């Protein structure tokens, strides 16, 4: 075995994280195997998302849909509602499609190879390799952001990302052992998450400290080298929170693709780079006495949104293209965070009754 792998696995046996979806080294020795459904579900949720944020969603999904067939049979709206707040909603749409495919075309069993997994919706290079290694003991090179950081530091690779990806992949492949490839992958990620961190890495505790080229150069934080990213533009718009006297809220469903695709929303204007908000009231979904309730700011990946929030209590509930949802069941709606923020701005108590 590659000496890096041997050193890392020894470190992992002693210092690995305990995670809800993980089968640790000790349990594996007792014969326990990772459930591919659990591995897949966790990997999809963990895409660009912190372990801390994922834990509660993972437990909720697993309790509600214990097997992939259950998820395949679920209503898409319920899956989107359960995913609400986690972000990157295309993941939820692909999660559902993938579950349906596995249930209908693979007899409820996930493919056990990289190629078979990668053919499924929502599974790319990283996730296919991770599931193949962790659930099926395939020695695939698992490269995520943690691994990129560890490897670029270990070998002082100063080519900027993403151009360095092929080199990082090759280096990772060379290190990956035939035995325990899943533990090796998780060990690399644990190392990146707990020791080889983006800032102020704890090199003194690193199993690679004697061999790390970046540490030898006395500047591990210089790696990985990344190109500067573009500034985040500002977009503006207005949101209209309409309430009936008996406590129902006007909601719509966004189109299935694109930003917040398939999620619920209150009616809004378009989100553009315009700076005037004077014609907002004219863009309202119906004529009423709209009261300005202030502005909210929400930061998306590639732009910042400033929404003027308007509120009205309308006795007339006939509106085209929407539904009046009871405030008491807002917790069951697929409302993304930005919409919860807008609703709370107009109706401060809207979600308080739902919190437990």
Nearer to DNA among residue 162 and residue 294 (C-beta): 162
Nearer to DNA among residue 317 and residue 344 (C-beta): 344
Taking the complex as a whole, the smallest distance from the CB of residue 323 to DNA amounts, in Å, to: 20
Taking the complex as a whole, the smallest distance from the CB of residue 92 to DNA amounts, in Å, to: 9
Tokens of 332: 């069951």
The tally of CA atoms less than 13 A away on the side-chain side of residue 60 is 14
Smallest CA-to-CA distance from 240 within 189, 281, 182, 187 is with 281
Binding to DNA by residue 51, rule CB under 7 A? yes
Nearer to DNA among residue 127 and residue 308 (C-beta): 127
Between 134 and 173, how does the x/- string for binding to DNA read (CB under 7 A)? ----------xxx--x------------xx-x--------
Q: Which of residues 110-129 bind DNA (CB under 7 A)?
A: 121-128
The tally of CA atoms less than 13 A away on the side-chain side of residue 328 is 2
Q: Are 208 and 4 in contact (CB under 8 A)?
A: yes
Residue 178's contacts (CB-CB under 8 Å, 6 or more residues apart) are: 1, 139
Q: Which of 10, 302, 313, 329 binds DNA (CB under 7 A)?
A: 302
Binding to DNA by residue 350, rule CB under 7 A? no
Active-site residue (options: 7, 32, 43, 211): 43
Q: Site for DNA (CB under 7 A): how many residues?
A: 60
Binding to DNA by residue 85, rule CB under 7 A? yes
Spell out the SS3 assignment of 184-237.
HHHHHHHHHHHCCCCCCCCHHHCCCCCCCHHHHCCCHHHCCCECCCCCCCEEEE
Binding to DNA by residue 47, rule CB under 7 A? yes
Q: Are 223 and 156 in contact (CB under 8 A)?
A: yes
Stretch that binds DNA, among 81-89, 175-183, 277-285, 307-315 (CB under 7 A): 81-89
Residue 3's contacts (CB-CB under 8 Å, 6 or more residues apart) are: none
What is the chain's length? Answer: 356
Binding to DNA by residue 70, rule CB under 7 A? no
Nearer to DNA among residue 62 and residue 281 (C-beta): 62
> For this structure, is 211 an active site residue?
no
Distance CA 159, CA 163 (A): 7
Helix (H, G, I), strand (E, B) or coil at 149: helix
Binding to DNA by residue 331, rule CB under 7 A? no
Binding to DNA by residue 37, rule CB under 7 A? no
Distance CA 354, CA 356 (A): 6
Binding to DNA by residue 89, rule CB under 7 A? yes
Residues designated as active site: 43
Task: State the residues that interact with DNA by CB under 7 A.
Answer: 17, 19, 21-22, 42-43, 46-53, 85-90, 94, 121-128, 130, 144-146, 149, 162-163, 165, 186, 189-190, 192-193, 198-200, 226, 229-230, 258-261, 298-302, 336-338
């Amino acid at each position: 075995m590659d000496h890096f792998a041997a050193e890392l696995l020894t470190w992992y046996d002693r210092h690995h994280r305990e995670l809800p979806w993980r089968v640790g080294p000790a349990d594996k020795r007792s014969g326990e195997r990772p459930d591919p459904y659990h591995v897949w579900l966790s990997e999809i949720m963990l895409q660009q998302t912190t372990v801390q944020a994922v834990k509660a969603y993972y437990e909720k999904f697993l309790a509600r849909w214990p097997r992939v067939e259950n998820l395949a049979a679920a209503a898409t709206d319920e899956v989107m509602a359960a995913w609400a707040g986690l972000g990157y909603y295309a993941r939820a749409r692909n999660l559902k499609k993938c579950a349906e495919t596995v249930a209908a075309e693979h007899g409820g069993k996930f493919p056990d190879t990289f190629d078979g997994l990668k053919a499924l919706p929502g599974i790319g290079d990283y996730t296919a390799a991770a599931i193949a290694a962790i659930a099926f003991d395939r020695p695939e090179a698992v490269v995520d952001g943690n691994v990129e950081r560890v490897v670029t530091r270990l070998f002082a690779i100063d080519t900027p990302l993403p151009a360095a990806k092929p080199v990082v992949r090759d280096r990772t492949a060379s290190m990956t052992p035939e035995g325990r490839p899943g533990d090796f992958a998780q060990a690399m990620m644990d190392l990146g998450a707990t020791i080889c961190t983006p800032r102020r890495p704890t090199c003194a505790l690193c199993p690679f400290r004697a061999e790390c080229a970046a540490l030898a150069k006395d500047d591990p934080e210089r790696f990985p080298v990344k190109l500067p990213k573009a500034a985040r533009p500002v977009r503006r718009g207005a949101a209209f929170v309409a309430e009936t006297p008996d406590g129902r809220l006007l909601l719509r469903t966004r189109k299935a693709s694109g930003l917040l695709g398939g999620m619920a929303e209150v009616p809004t204007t378009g989100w553009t780079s315009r700076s005037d908000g004077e014609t907002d009231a004219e863009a309202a979904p119906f004529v009423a006495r709209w009261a300005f309730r202030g502005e909210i700011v929400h930061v998306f990946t590639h732009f910042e949104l400033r929404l003027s929030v308007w509120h009205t209590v309308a006795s007339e509930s006939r509106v085209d293209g929407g539904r009046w949802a009871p405030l008491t069941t807002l917790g069951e709606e697929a409302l993304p965070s930005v919409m919860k923020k807008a609703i709370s701005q107009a109706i401060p108590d809207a979600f308080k009754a739902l919190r437990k």
